[in-house]
Chains A and B, each alone.
Chain A
Amino acid sequence: MPLIRSAGNGAGQVVDDPWTLVGDDEPLPENGPVIVTLARWQQDRESLIASGRPLGVRLASDQLAGTIAGDLPHLSLIALEFPSFRDGRAYSTARQLRDRYGFRGELRAVGNVLRDQLLFMHRCGFDAFEVPGADAAAAFARALGEFSVFYQPASDQRLPATRLRPLRSAAE
């Protein structure tokens, strides 16, 4: 599945994915960055940290940010699952990881990631997206460009209308 990484200015690039998702019963690859489930993380935490490689954890939609909040210094990536596009828990988990716990690594949206939701995800702090389709980068750019006005601050850099209005008045 193509991986889009947000490149700022509303653009996205299809990039090679250096990460390996390792199943709970699979052996770890020789080297390279790995993503493990929360269960495996909790079980093999010490040896994974000792391995010195970049580490990522994949959270199911019912696994809360608080469960790994203390481990964030060891993690370079967190993947949040959308088991269905209707399951919006990962939006809040992403916001808590970014704003409450200060996670600055890669936040990746995986699962049923629909184009019409990419902007919401980006606003909630996701910066990488597993999106199907050959034209994923174009779809990403289009989705992020559909709106230029936002009404609430979120975990992104976009200024909401409430902040822009006084700036505009001051400029007049």
Chain B
Amino acid sequence: MYRYDEFDHTFVRQRVEQFRDQVERRLSGALSEDEFRPLRLMNGLYLQLHAYMLRVAIPYGTLSSRQMRCLAHIARTYDKGYGHFTTRQNIQFNWPALKDVPDILLDLAEVEMHALQTSGNCIRNVTADQYAGAAADEIEDPRVWCEIIRQWSSLHPEFSFLPRKFKIAVTGAPNDRAAVAVHDIGLRIVRNEAGEVGFQVLVGGGQGRTPVIGAVIRPFLPKRYLLSYLEAILRVYNLLGRRDNIFKARIKILVQQVGAAVFADMVEDEWQQIKDGPVELPAGELERIQAYFAPPPFETLPDADSGFADAQAGDPAFTAWTRSNLAAHRQPGYAIVNLSLKPVGGIPGDATAAQMDAVADLADRYSFGEIRVSHEQNLILPHVRLQDLYPLWQALEGIGFATANIGLASDIIACPGLDYCSLANARSIPIAQEISRRFAALDRLHDIGELRIKISGCINACGHHHVGHIGILGVDKKGEEFYQLTLGGDATDTAALGDLIGPAVSVHKVVDAVETLVGVYLEHRQNGERFLDTYRRVGLQPFKETLYATH
């Protein structure tokens, strides 16, 4: 993992002191709420329906056990004992008092964390594949470049007042787990025909009220040019992105307006001016950062482990969990372990302070002290020996993080919705809770197979409904909660936006509707194909006919 040096420590502490001064000016009345707003937003502090909410960055989803314990401490000391992991690899605390926020930030700084640029019209917390550095299919570890981007974008003097927020995601593997195609900039580490490693650059993807799949504007960018190329994209956007209408201010609108090819030319023109200039990384800096992401001291182990095989044979519940919650590790004898934060009837992404502490302990015991956060709002222990899986699973059962549902119907992404958010039209969390109860039976859940259900409480799409196999969007109809359903969305390397199936269904019928759609899939499924595959093969019609005949 990256570790702060004296520069990083100084920077983050100075940022805390700057904010402490701003909070004091607000508390004394020297600043009005209007004047304070842009200042607090630059430190991830929102004012929500009931209270302030502090959004803390977990850069590229990587946490150490020490950092997790600090998050637990914050939840326990300054909040109501829990935190909420979000779709952008952040954690939100829903109940901090304004006067405490500078102290919270100081505690975070001690463990090399911050809340910088988790809101505001700036370059937001950069996100990555949660299996980075562990995945069997990875070309190179994307976190090295995420850390370079994190530093380059921190208080960038030119790009802190962009037309709108700006999100960058990076994947180092061909199987895209970071949803890069629905980001303002998506970066895919690729290998070209000459065997060199570089970036495929996508621009203008996004969700919200105008969902767009990003366009490739450069098939191969040599790695050494990443920062100058990003700077060129951001400069073109900063100068030409719309500022007259907040709903048309994202880069995707600019790219659509001029066309991806013309946009690429504009970037090229700017880039030619600055490439090989001072913005490129100086010699040695890449290697310095790379060294922090060296693999942990893995043991040399065989591919299989007899203890693991015996445990699987003897315990069906463990076996079910290993089917859904493990991913292939690059190192023989190791596995990537997903901890489900989607227990039946639970709130997606929530974790208590006790659970966070327990995860930190398990990370120390079984995963070199490393933890990851996924955009699906789950946690990951990235480096677990096969022989440790059974005791780890038992421990996870004990803290409620062993639900065998990763990638399945009850592994739902949901935004906070009307329970917390001042923008929401409808509730998300109770819908997710009810769906997970309906699909609680493990046999059925596993028989249905991979099914990504994503729920947003309003058109801003924080719950990623556009890219859900089943997407659910809350809308307000004359004061009543209704839900629009979309089918066929996909956030991966085969990215697609969901198709609207028809009129919205009422809050009382939305969970039945999901069950009906799953029924149609099971009826048409061939050869063990996934829901998404069946949908792509048979199209909307059979789903639509059955849904509206039934409801």
Interface residues of A (CB under 8 A from B): 64, 85-89, 91-93, 95-96, 99-100, 116-117, 119-121, 123-124, 146-154, 161-166
Contacts and interface: CB of A to CB of B under 8 A. Distances in A.
Given A87-B243, A99-B274, A165-B7, A154 B157 contact: yes
Interface string B1-38: 00001011011001101100010000000000000001
B273 interface: yes
Contacts of A150: 155
Contacts of A165: 5, 7, 284-285, 288
Given A146-B14, A149-B14, A89 B238 contact: yes
Interface stretch (B158-166, B428-436, B487-495): B158-166
Given A88-B158, A147-B11, 20 more contacts: A88-B121, A92-B239, A99-B274, A116-B38, A123-B157, A123-B158, A124-B158, A147-B14, A147-B15, A148-B14, A151-B11, A151-B153, A151-B155, A152-B154, A152-B227, A162-B281, A163-B282, A165-B7, A165-B288, A166-B285
Contacts, number: 106
B14 A88 contact: no
Contact of B279 (A153, A161, A166): A153
A151 B162 contact: no
B189 to A, nearest CB: 21
Nearest to A162: B285
Across chains A and B, which 5 residue pairs bring their CB atoms closest together, nearest first? Answer: A88-B161, A123-B157, A149-B11, A120-B157, A161-B7
A80 to B, nearest CB: 12
Contacts of B5: 165
A163 B277 CA distance: 13
A151 B160 contact: no
Interface string B266-288: 00000001100111011111001
* Residue of B22, B153, B157, B158 with most chain A CB atoms under a 10 A cut-off: B157
Given A92-B239, A151-B151, A154-B158, A146 B18 contact: yes
B420 interface: no
B71 to A, nearest CB: 24
B407 to A, nearest CB: 37
Nearest to B274: A99
B157 A124 contact: yes
Contacts of A88: 121, 158-162, 238
A86 B121 contact: yes
A92 B155 contact: no
Contact of B157 (A91, A100, A146): A91
Interface string B38-63: 11000000000000000000000000
Interface in B95-118: none
A162 B289 CA distance: 11
A93 B157 contact: no
B152 A151 contact: yes
B223 to A, nearest CB: 15
Contact of A86 (B18, B157, B161, B274): B161
Interface in B128-170: 151-162
Given A92-B235, A93-B239, A116-B39, A152 B156 contact: yes
A85 B11 contact: no
B276 to A, nearest CB: 13
* Residue of A64, A92, A163 with most chain B CB atoms under a 10 A cut-off: A92
A122 B191 CA distance: 40
A119 B500 CA distance: 47
Interface in B222-262: 227, 235, 238-239, 243
A148 B157 contact: no
B101 to A, nearest CB: 17
Contacts of A154: 157-158
* Residue of A96, A120, A149 with most chain B CB atoms under a 10 A cut-off: A149
Contacts of B39: 116
B278 A148 contact: no
A158 to B, nearest CB: 10
A166 B7 CA distance: 12
Contacts of A99: 273-274, 277
Contacts of A64: 239
A164 B180 CA distance: 33
A85 B158 contact: no
Nearest to B163: A88
A2 to B, nearest CB: 19
Nearest to A146: B18
B282 A89 contact: no
A99 B39 CA distance: 29
7 contacts: A86-B121, A92-B158, A99-B273, A117-B161, A151-B155, A152-B157, A165-B7
Contacts of B121: 86, 88
Nearest to A158: B157
Nearest to B120: A86
Contacts of A146: 14, 17-18
Nearest to A169: B284
B11 A120 contact: no
